[in-house]
Structure 1
Amino acid sequence: MRIPFELAETLAAAVDEGTLDAAARRLHVTPSAVSQRIKALEEQLGRLVLVRSKPVRATDAGAAVIRLARQAALLEHDTLVELGDDPAEGARISVPIAVNADSLATWFLDPLARLSQRHPVVFDLHRDDQDFTAGLLESGAVMGAVTSRGAPVAGCRVSVLGAMRYQAVATPGYVERWLADDSAAALAEAPLVDFDRRDDLQNAWLASRGVDPARPPRHYVPASNDFATAVRLGFGWAMLPRFQSHEAIARGELVLLGGDPVDVVLHWQQWNLRSPLLDAIADEVVAEGRRVLAPVG
């Protein structure tokens, strides 16, 4: 059995764009042609590859085909560059990458900016918690990921980036109102800010101070810069990366609440596929991470 690249590419476009109509516009064909290609792929494989939901999503079999499509597109790009193809005359390859919100808001865009100036590439960034970005690698949705997972995803290689260091901070006015005595009882009543319901950094810090994490009231602010802004506006206390807090601490706009900082060790994982472009991305991302993040160990 062989999987025609055109059919695999069509499936990947459908999942990327979310609908068959949007995939048709991207591929410059009719929606009927997209539907026929996916049906032909399913008939050839003898299994479903696409769930016709809104948005559409790949089945497990479809995810394997999409991973093949992305790898084939990457290898084709590398070959054309090696043969001297002028990138200015062709479409730039899209590289999907998963990254956690705090890295995206602080250090991660700088290496990508340098890469985009040197290589014919555009980036499709998928933002998720660092504990879940590895899952996007496993599904074939992305080629590389910033993740807290140190064990290599199947078919991937991993490099340590460094530790994102978080410290508990709040405004002086907030501390005066809620935490004047710095007691566990006060912390149990003081409002805090969480990124979302999967954010456990504040819970870990509370537990280290002997406070039941279920007690305090919470604001949920699911965007990294807005999350930091909410803390600076006095919504509550939170664990902020040093990137986002050190200047405000120096100006006296935020104060440290004490307790041990929480270090989240980050890794770069990418497909274990020899590709000059993927290697260049890894080199830039790993070098930047090791330059700006706290050393591990």
Structure 2
Amino acid sequence: MNPHHLQTLLAILDEGSFEGAAGALGISPSAVSQRVKAMEKEAGRVLVRRTTPVGVTEAGEILVQSARRMSLLQAETDAQLRGRLGRVPLAVAVNADSLATWFRPVLAAAAHWGEAALRLRLEDEAHTQILLRRGDVLGAVTRDATPVSGCEVIELGRMRYLAVATAELRSRYSTVEGVDWARLPALRFGPNDVLQDADLDGRLAPEVRRRRRVSHVPSSEAFVEAARVGLGWALLPEAQASPLLETGELVRLDDRVLEVPLHWQRWRLESVLLDQLTDAVVTASAVLDRPR
């Protein structure tokens, strides 16, 4: 497969459109289209889904994985020849809670890797494996300990989540039996928020009708703020909840602690930069609860 064609395929996927890819590559949209047609003719099947944003087919995913590997290895080879790192793209999938808490030192570490570029993809930790499997990212923070084909797994630790709300909200939605979970307003990060979707498991019988309002707040910092001002109750990472619990701005709704296991999955690829990234992730994860 023509290396320029593979580079074009990555650009289309990263930029989300033929026009965006053309701008990133410094060629015309028609040239991008011609390269895609040439790739599809050579492969004998459709590789790119003409959607918004642009996606790839299963056959396209195979080429994307190969293209990512080639891109990283080429960048590192150029770095060795020139004595410096070029614009090495490190695509990583991470969930919002991790990025807002323990993952941040990884950003500081990456700042010292020459001109290496981090391309972070925000996704729920239950869905990051999809990005790995498609070849969209080189590494991912995920709940799943089962490695994606071609990847290796490192256990990181557990994130602890607490059920919290304002004291006023808890008081308003409580009965003599305790918290009225069926009516207590709740928060969601987004449509793929598996963690919050399971917030009532063990707290409310399945047959009880839920009559609560649910607000969606797709930002980790704004999500915490929404809980702080009483828009709804939420499962917050202990690291984010603790300061607000100490000041009394939030209170715990029960004594349960939800522990979410996290793993680092990365491509099984000989790469100095990918090794550095892995070391940084593992080091940063030291603040998580370790398996007992």
* Range class of TM-score, shorter chain: over 0.9
CA distance in 2 between counterparts of 1:74 and 1:153 reads 19
Using the TM superposition, name which of 60-69 and 129-138 deviates more: 60-69
Q: TM-score, normalised by structure 2?
A: 0.93
**Alignment equivalent of 1:18, drawn from 10, 16, 32:** 16
Aligned 8 A contact 1:209 1:259 in 2: no
User: Does residue 96 in structure 1 map to residue 94 in structure 2?
Assistant: no
Aligned-residue offset at 1:203: 5.0
Aligned-residue offset at 1:96: 1.1
**Alignment equivalent of 1:64, drawn from 46, 62, 65:** 62
**What SS is found at the alignment partner of 1:167?**
strand
CA distance in 1 between counterparts of 2:253 and 2:12 reads 48
C-alpha deviations, 1:267-291, integer Å up to 9, x for none? 11010001000000000001111x2
Aligned 8 A contact 1:188 1:211 in 2: no
C-alpha deviations, 1:37-67, integer Å up to 9, x for none? 1111111111111122222211111111111
- 1:90-239 equivalent positions in 2, closer than 5 A: 91-179=86-174, 181=176, 183=178, 186-202=180-196, 204-212=198-206, 215-217=210-212, 218-239=214-235
**What SS is found at the alignment partner of 1:160?**
strand
Aligned 8 A contact 1:171 1:231 in 2: yes
**Counterpart amino acid of 1:282?**
T
Aligned-residue offset at 1:182: 5.4
Aligned 8 A contact 2:189 2:216 in 1: yes
Cα distance, 1:120–1:8 mapped onto 2, change above 3 Å: same
**Counterpart amino acid of 2:52?**
K
Which blocks of at least 5 consecutive residues in structure 1 are unaligned? none
Aligned 8 A contact 2:182 2:204 in 1: no
Aligned 8 A contact 2:110 2:118 in 1: no
Match of 1:243 in 2: 239
Match of 1:51 in 2: 49
Higher helix fraction (1 or 2): 1
Using the TM superposition, name which of 268-277 and 191-200 deviates more: 191-200
C-alpha deviations, 1:101-143, integer Å up to 9, x for none? 1111222232122122233211111111110001000001111
Cα distance, 1:205–1:49 mapped onto 2, change above 3 Å: closer
C-alpha deviations, 1:172-200, integer Å up to 9, x for none? 1112222264526x222221212234334
CA distance in 2 between counterparts of 1:254 and 1:182 reads 21
Match of 1:292 in 2: 287
Aligned 8 A contact 1:8 1:65 in 2: yes
**Alignment equivalent of 2:84, drawn from 60, 83, 86:** 86
CA distance in 2 between counterparts of 1:166 and 1:92 reads 37
C-alpha deviations, 1:209-264, integer Å up to 9, x for none? 34448614122222221111111001121110011110011111111112321001
Identity of aligned residues (%): 40
**Alignment equivalent of 2:4, drawn from 3, 6, 14:** 6
Cα distance, 1:176–1:125 mapped onto 2, change above 3 Å: same
Q: TM-score, normalised by structure 1?
A: 0.92
**Pairwise CA RMSD of aligned residues?**
1.8
Cα distance, 1:201–1:16 mapped onto 2, change above 3 Å: closer
Cα distance, 1:200–1:216 mapped onto 2, change above 3 Å: farther
CA distance in 2 between counterparts of 1:52 and 1:198 reads 24
User: Does residue 255 in structure 1 map to residue 251 in structure 2?
Assistant: yes
Match of 2:36 in 1: 38
C-alpha deviations, 1:145-202, integer Å up to 9, x for none? 0111110011001101111100011111112222264526x22222121223433434
CA distance in 2 between counterparts of 1:206 and 1:21 reads 45
Aligned-residue offset at 1:6: 1.0
**Counterpart amino acid of 1:94?**
P
Aligned-residue offset at 1:99: 0.7
